[in-house]
Structure 1
Amino acid sequence: MSRPSQALTEVATRTVARLRAPDAPGRRPASAAVGIRTAAGQAVAVDGWAVLPGAGEPGTPMSRDLLLDVASVTKVAATTTLAMLLVDAGELDLDTPAARYLPALDRDVRRRITLEQLLTHTAGLQPWWPLYVEHTDRAAALAAAAGLPLAAEPGTTWCYSDLGLMLAGQVVETVTGLGLAEAFATMIAQPLGLTARYGPVPPSAAATSADSDAYEHAMVGTGTPYPVPYRPTDFAGWRAGPVRGAANDGNAAHALAGVSGHAGLFATVDDLLRLGSAVRGGEVVTDATLARFATPSRLHPEQAVGFRRTRLEEAGVTLLHHGGFTGTFFAVGLETELVVAGGAMRLHGTLGPIPAAGAFADTTGLLQSQQIQDHLLDAARTALELAAPTILEER
């Protein structure tokens, strides 16, 4: 192993250890995986259990070839990347009203919602809604997402919304004439040689993402953080045991057949490193298209088109990135070769089964998405320092 690669491996290994260090008893994520790619090399480190031992079962150790439920990283790894490809090919315009492709939006002020607004969380849509309580048919659920009361006038404020990316994925399906899973497979995964794909996938091919549906069960039951007019008893499909190979996200799993623009993708850390390098390196779209999607939103400068934006001032590098609810994170550097991916399966080994009727899971003390992002960004900074001599040579 070369010295740069060994140093990167040490960075990845330290980051994995930090991700698995619990802040509270019983809150240690079952597994973690971190990958780093720079001009100096690439490294991946993993630790923990894809399936925890228990009840006489030996468990399954975590390995780098296991697929992660990347949750909302789907928004950029699949939906946004597909949108970039279509814009690059001249088949789609970010400024086009989404109602041109989605008749359910062809009414009232929704007619003004553009694809860019869907991708930048500025369309005025609700942040979240448990569509599965009333709809387990995919088409009906997507229609319901488009028809929910708006939270704000389109184009007036930023509000992070799963619903917007669900509808953006549907736009991709309409334009390509393909289902989202097929579009991802034929337009991204196959050309780049990725194992990434939409689920469900064979359980043996994936790391467990959660102990059960206890988190969303508690969201519906407590109305936190989003008030909804339902009780857990209004839905009979809660998963009481471990979630492995199927989307953790309730809407993706229960209402959208596992395939959505906001969640449902499974990928290895190596897949994300390869994808990030290809997006940045011109294999997927032109520099001009990437720059267009990297443009900050006027309503929220930390939001680009699909991606979030973070500036590492000390390194002079802008990162396009996104996290996922299961504990995942994916970031790509604009000015230099840098991809960071991975995270911790923060809901496995920490959450437990759905409690008895009338009770809800205690979600306090869980590793938070912001903590995961901070650890991965620290790894990015260190990786850039290690790569500095190589970057200078290239320049």
Structure 2
Amino acid sequence: MAGWSDLDRYLDDQAAGELSSAGLVVVSSAGVLHEHHCGDALRYSTPSTAQPDADPGPAVLLPADRRVPVRGSTLFDLASNTKMWATNLALMELVGRGALDLDRPVCTFAGWQRFGEPGRRGVTVADLLRHEAGLIADPRYFDPRAAGPLYCSGTPLDPVPRERIIATICRTPSARPPHQGYCYSDLDYMILGLLVEQICGQRLDHVLEDGLYRRLGLVSTVFNPLDKGFDPDRIAATEPEGNTRGGSVDLGPAPDGSPAPMRRYTLRGQVHDEKAWYCMGGVSGHAGLFTDTGDLAVLLRLGLGEGRLDGKQYIAPEVWRRFARPQGRTAGERAESSHGLGWRVAPSAGDPYPPFGSSPAPGSIGHTGWTGTLTVVDRQWDLALGLLTGARHRLGTDVGRDRPVDYSRIVDAVYRAAL
């Protein structure tokens, strides 16, 4: 089909340039319609890696014989798509089993009593999912200068105890009062992941990898893949010089005078997100999940089936629909809403959600991720897509620039080719 060829050429051109790499999978409820992989999983690197206490020197473009090409089995850092394909799935399962009431106030969970003190007593689990709790978007607990007395940082080898991060979150001031409208926040999903862990009595990665993911037959969807035995050559790199934004960021000393934990080496198999790595040991409700296009295809088909896949029901359909329903207090607000319970939603009125563009049918759901990932699930057209890219694997201080991927152009091209 010429449409697929045109799309593949566009992705090839993008991966040869600033995107570095791309993996695309398009599915219907019956199976995979199209898959394409291109670019380099590793194109730039510091001279040495994984030396946390040393400056490895600047990253450089690798000679062609040292680059690692992307393959179908390459894992990518999903970034905020973790919120949907890890935390939301875990929450849906708990709601379906009757183990979690979405209207329960957060401050009624063990250890969270102080969360309700600064005017947040009425904040519920559903408020976090709707991003209406009024919490700050990006709490930089790992940055001594930004965090001040809330400084809370470590590494997976010397992790921050969960009890300490919960106490720190409870002391964190809000951005604004709750229930004043949509306010996207990573902190919402950090809390949700921690609540899943408390209810299940296991860390989030074990809840999913030993539970739903195993039942779905997923073999490449994990947190902390290096710790799970994955070869680095199977994992697409992100920032070439750690979390330094091309050498422009330095966290300085911790309050005790020791250097604050700071990765300066090429990130490969470690979650890029600073909060997930330094504060949550690589396992957080807002970021940390890795997957490849094969496993992502299974998850996308699960979405098309509203929790049902290949004749088996994994998540109750009424629960799935509740999470996917546009939010708003009036019919007009719901028609123009681009968010459900966590999920981003294609609105039925007003402007489209920009990353989706205008092609997906109203009610389609999905999410984006800072590393350059996108998922879209469109039940009306029986079509879903997952895009994984190396958008943050580039040299220079603009590695953190906003919107490095033209998502809507790729979505439109998928719809033209598939329909």
Partner of 2:239: 210
Partner of 2:71: 63
Distance 1:287 1:327, change over 3 A: same
Residues 68 and 267 of structure 1 are in contact (CA less than 8 Å); yes or no, is this contact kept in structure 2? yes
Q: Point out where structure 2 has 5 or more consecutive residues left out of the alignment.
A: 45-60, 144-150, 155-159, 309-313, 348-356
Q: Does 2:342 correspond to 1:306?
A: yes
Distance 1:11 1:186, change over 3 A: farther
Deviations 1:345-377 (A, max 9, x none): 1111334xxxxxxxxx2458x5715x4421342
Distance 1:346 1:142, change over 3 A: farther
Specify the SS of the correspondent of 1:214. Answer: coil
- Alpha-carbon RMSD across the aligned residues, in angstroms, is 2.6
Provide the C-alpha distance between the structure 1 equivalents of 2:253 and 2:315, rounded to a whole number of angstroms: 47
Provide the C-alpha distance between the structure 2 equivalents of 1:336 and 1:85, rounded to a whole number of angstroms: 26
Q: How does 1:185-200 map to 2 (within 5 A)?
A: 185-194=209-218, 195-200=220-225
- Which amino acid in the other structure matches residue 416 of structure 2? T
Cα offset, 1:338, TM superposition: 1.7
Cα offset, 1:182, TM superposition: 0.6
* Aligned partner of 1:293 among 318, 323, 330: 323
Residues 8 and 42 of structure 1 are in contact (CA less than 8 Å); yes or no, is this contact kept in structure 2? no
Provide the C-alpha distance between the structure 2 equivalents of 1:187 and 1:350, rounded to a whole number of angstroms: 39
- Which amino acid in the other structure matches residue 239 of structure 2? A
Deviations 1:12-70 (A, max 9, x none): 52452364375xxxxx1211111111257422101111111645561111111011011
Provide the C-alpha distance between the structure 2 equivalents of 1:47 and 1:314, rounded to a whole number of angstroms: 24
User: Which stretch has the larger CA shift, 131-140 or 9-18?
Assistant: 9-18
User: Which stretch has the larger CA shift, 90-99 or 141-150?
Assistant: 141-150
Residues 392 and 399 of structure 2 are in contact (CA less than 8 Å); yes or no, is this contact kept in structure 1? no
Deviations 1:121-148 (A, max 9, x none): 1111000012123212142234312321
Residues 82 and 187 of structure 1 are in contact (CA less than 8 Å); yes or no, is this contact kept in structure 2? no
Cα offset, 1:383, TM superposition: 4.5
* Aligned partner of 2:26 among 36, 41, 60: 36
Q: Does 2:359 correspond to 1:368?
A: no
Q: Does 2:190 correspond to 1:180?
A: no
Q: How does 1:1-395 map to 2 (within 5 A)?
A: 9-10=4-5, 13-14=8-9, 16-17=11-12, 19-20=14-15, 28-38=18-28, 41-52=32-43, 54=61, 58-104=66-112, 105-133=115-143, 134-135=151-152, 136=154, 137-139=160-162, 140-194=164-218, 195-201=220-226, 202=230, 203-212=232-241, 213-215=243-245, 232-234=252-254, 236-281=260-305, 282-283=307-308, 284-298=314-328, 301-311=337-347, 316-351=361-396, 361-363=397-399, 366=401, 368=403, 371-385=405-419
Cα offset, 1:316, TM superposition: 3.8
Distance 1:382 1:293, change over 3 A: same
- Which amino acid in the other structure matches residue 58 of structure 1? R
Specify the SS of the correspondent of 2:363. Answer: strand
- Give the TM-score, by structure 1 length: 0.82
- Which amino acid in the other structure matches residue 292 of structure 1? R
Residues 132 and 141 of structure 1 are in contact (CA less than 8 Å); yes or no, is this contact kept in structure 2? no
- Which amino acid in the other structure matches residue 87 of structure 2? T
- Give the TM-score, by structure 2 length: 0.77
Residues 302 and 308 of structure 1 are in contact (CA less than 8 Å); yes or no, is this contact kept in structure 2? yes
Percent identical pairs in the alignment equals 27
Cα offset, 1:307, TM superposition: 0.8
User: Which stretch has the larger CA shift, 6-15 or 276-285?
Assistant: 6-15
Distance 1:106 1:232, change over 3 A: same
- Which amino acid in the other structure matches residue 262 of structure 1? H
Deviations 1:171-215 (A, max 9, x none): 111111221001111232101111201114242331112212123
Deviations 1:65-122 (A, max 9, x none): 0110111110000001111111111111211112222533243422211111111211
